[in-house]
Amino acid sequence: MIKKMLFLGALAIFSVGCKSPKPITQQAPKPEKNKSDLKEYSQVITSEAKSDEGLFTTHFVGDKLYFEIPVNLFDKDMLLVSRIAGIPSGFGGGYVNAGSKVNEQVVRWVKRNGNIDMKVISFENQSDEESPIYKSVQANNFFPILFSTEIKTWSKDSCSVVIDASGLFENEVDAINGISANLRKRYKVKKLDKSRSYIESANSYPENIEIKHVMTYEADSPPERDQAGTISMLLNQSMILLPENKMQPRLADPRVGWFTINKYDYNSEELKADDYEIIRRWQLVPKDIEAYKRGELVEPVDPIVYYLDPATPEKWRPYFKQGIEDWNVAFEAAGFKNAIIAKDPPSKEEDPEFSPEDVRYSVVRYVASTTRNAVGPSVTDPRTGEIIESDIIWYHNHLRSYRNRFMIEAGAQNPNARTLNTPEAEIGEMMRMVIAHEVGHALGLPHNMKASSAYPTDSLRSAEFTQKYGLTPSIMDYARVNYVAQPGDDGVRYIRMMGPYDLYAINWGYRYLPEANSAREEKETLDKWILEKAGDPVYEFGNGYSGADPQSQRESLGDDQVKASAYGIANLKKVVPNLVEWTSKDGYGYDDLAEVYRELGYMWRGYISHVITNVGGVYETRKTADQSGLVYEPVPEKIQKQAVEFLNKEAFTTPDWMLNQKLLGRIDASEAIDRIQGFQSKALENLLEKDRLKRMVLNNEMNANDTYTVTEMMKDIREGVFSELYNSQETDAYRRNLQRSFVDVAASYLNELEERKNDEVLKSDIMALMRGELNKLRSDLSKRKNSVNHELTRYHWKDLIARIDLATGTDA
């Protein structure tokens, strides 16, 4: 009853006179069937129809799905969001989960004589409707038709048309398809099997329609062998009515991290189409604007409300609520109080038709799944950037990720981490901060991987500092556990929390500016706020995507990656001997031990990677033309040399501490050893990858007097990796594998010359560098190949000579 009342209220807005709005594009008239030529309404929508009223009414008649669309919804902007609701095991290699978004596009239902078309609308290219160029923009951005069907009948009051919408969901429509082109190729998908594809459900709400449909594809190589040569998946299509009253957009600035939408303005005074971005954010307007202007905290007209999923376990609900409402501190910095509210799911008595599918409700969904993740997606109006709705997804097995990480990274320092039954206070705090992180995404904030580098590394060993400032200035950084803290650093904080950058970013994006009548008028104020914080690393932003800035990396802590990784590895060395005791349980095997040990190896690999990024690294400080100083600066020579010294010691030396026989004797030792060898080889390949070498060559030319040259780096690595050769010592299996990797990586560049695979590399100094290094190494091997009595070592060095000869085309 509540839902129908709300539906009727929403419909009243559009139904005065039942007149269809004037079409945006006038078309030449064509003959159209008279309404009398169509079937009667009762002949199409029979007494057996299962109907649901809402934005427009859906009807199931047998296996057909009909939409009854009010004429006043023609030419209205609706957002069509396509998601995967159910997938087979192993689909996408574990990188695609239920809830993953496939596509998001604006559509309009348009009447074309006796047909109804669904058109895809773009707002990327814009122009003032009164401008002469407007017609050209329209003509050069003609909207495609996604779906078209005949009108089957009219409602009795002639206020709605009825169409058969089955074909949109039962046929393969690329724009809402759940299988990407790459996955089609990977699984050798042949075609859609219509006999096993069908519409499962259709639900209508006051502001959205939700359709679930099963799509079954014939495939020669499905993700799991037992899938009978098919891939079946459940898709969810959401059709959401966009607001009539458009929010004023806010221009994005790359110096402050926000999810954005690209735009092109053809009315720009620039001698080109002005490309710009707007940020994604909820619309918050103060109830009392005058009080807001006076600096008082004011509640918003429409606060952001998140409901907990009814499936959320009672014990975790307080932590989820705290994680949501933690953001009120940031919104207070923007002048709002009670801006975000967490609520328990309503009872049947409070709201008998409450549904997480209803776009009016944003929900933190608790999903019973083995997926170890949490995500914070949102639905955004592409016209203005207004976030309309959001569903945070917590997958149950994400608890496992944090349980393991806490043991691995804090077990050496914190007694509470030395168990797989992590105490509720600790695991609850971790869940709280994960939810806060995902809510941050849903508020419009992307990852800020640069934030953690604002704090001195050793400050993370201070109880006073970490309890006040946390591990990083932003909850949006990946800095989950304090691995820098050492045994004896009593009272330190181990779990991340919200920081000053988060308050700054929310104020910048959500502060209501009543005096500004356009996004352009806001820019001066927004720029002023950025310049006030310029030069303070606490307020800098970096997404970490470039891979070149060592200060902008996931899971990194502190401003000194070499020192932080040294602390982290020191802790791992203390954890490994205790893992059997900490993970064992009477009457059970060693699966948990194997899992934690495997993930410990990944942590070690991550610490090594943090250090590698300093070599040939470039610091990025985002600036505009009115700010002094450079945007890109190479990492100082001293730091790069320290990084290579660290790598020779911790990455390229056999990690005996990982080869704990008490531990390996209880799991698959050969797999563990192969993994360690793989980590070392991958670290070397990463260090010698082409983009890093190109940056070092460029830096040599631009900063000749204060640069760690690429030839110095290669010499230091070669002498480290082949230290046994230069010290007349025998090599073990790990070192032999690493030394072969060095030759293979260098040789792979020369192979590109023969195969003409990469002109960019062929024309660079990398070819000469690698040829020179191989020739130097060959000379050294030839001189010293018989300097040890260890026969396998001598064979190994002679084999390397043969490999180098093959790569360089040298006659033996």
Lowest mean pLDDT among 1-15, 28-42, 476-490: 1-15
- Contact between residue 151 and residue 280 where contact means Cβ atoms under 8 Å apart: no
- Contact between residue 600 and residue 618 where contact means Cβ atoms under 8 Å apart: no
Rounded to 5 degrees, φ, ψ at 753 are: -65, -45
409 burial level (CB within 10 Å; 0-12, 13-18, 19+) = buried
Rounded to an integer, the average pLDDT of 756-779 is 84
d(C-alpha 280, C-alpha 377), whole Å? 12
Give me the pLDDT at residue 317, please. 94
Indicate the DSSP class of residue 449.
Answer: T
pLDDT-based confidence at 214, cuts 50/70/90? very high
More confident residue, 753 or 142: 753
Give me the pLDDT at residue 793, please. 94
Reported as a single tens digit per residue, the pLDDT across 415-439 is 999 999 999 999 999 999 999 999 9
- Contact between residue 550 and residue 614 where contact means Cβ atoms under 8 Å apart: yes
Q: Does residue 28 surpass a pLDDT of 60?
A: no
Give me the pLDDT at residue 4, please. 44
Q: What is the DSSP string of 105-138?
A: EEEEEEEETTEEEEEEE--SEE--TTSTTHHHHH
d(C-alpha 666, C-alpha 594), whole Å? 8
Q: What is the DSSP string of 135-183?
A: HHHHHTTPPPEEEEEEEEEE-TTSSEEEEE-HHHHHS--GGG-SS-HHH
What Rg do the C-alpha atoms of the chain give, in angstroms?
A: 31
Indicate the DSSP class of residue 22.
Answer: P
Q: Does residue 625 surpass a pLDDT of 70?
A: yes
Rounded to an integer, the average pLDDT of 235-258 is 94
pTM value is 0.88
Q: Does residue 511 surpass a pLDDT of 50?
A: yes
**Average pLDDT taken over every residue of the chain:** 88
pLDDT-based confidence at 357, cuts 50/70/90? confident
Rounded to an integer, the average pLDDT of 306-316 is 91
Give me the pLDDT at residue 10, please. 46
Give me the pLDDT at residue 172, please. 87
Q: Which residues contact 587 (CB under 8 A, 6 or more apart)?
A: none
For CA atoms 711, 712, 713, 718, the dihedral sign is positive
Look at residues 202, 197, 195 and name the one whose alpha carbon lies nearest to residue 60.
202
Helix axes 500-510, 519-533, angle to 10 degrees: 160
More confident residue, 763 or 652: 652
Q: Give residue limits of the domains in the chain.
A: 2-241, 289-559, 611-808
Lowest mean pLDDT among 15-24, 141-150, 160-169: 15-24
Secondary-structure breakdown of the chain: helix, strand, coil percentages, each rounded to the nearest 5: 40, 20, 40
Q: Does residue 35 surpass a pLDDT of 90?
A: no
Reported as a single tens digit per residue, the pLDDT across 54-105 is 999 999 999 999 999 999 999 999 999 998 888 887 787 666 766 678 888 9
Q: Does residue 287 surpass a pLDDT of 80?
A: yes
d(C-alpha 266, C-alpha 717), whole Å? 53
Give me the pLDDT at residue 445, please. 97
Reported as a single tens digit per residue, the pLDDT across 250-286 is 999 999 999 999 987 655 555 445 688 999 999 999 9
pLDDT-based confidence at 14, cuts 50/70/90? very low
Look at residues 599, 641, 643, 363 and name the one whose alpha carbon lies nearest to residue 481.
599
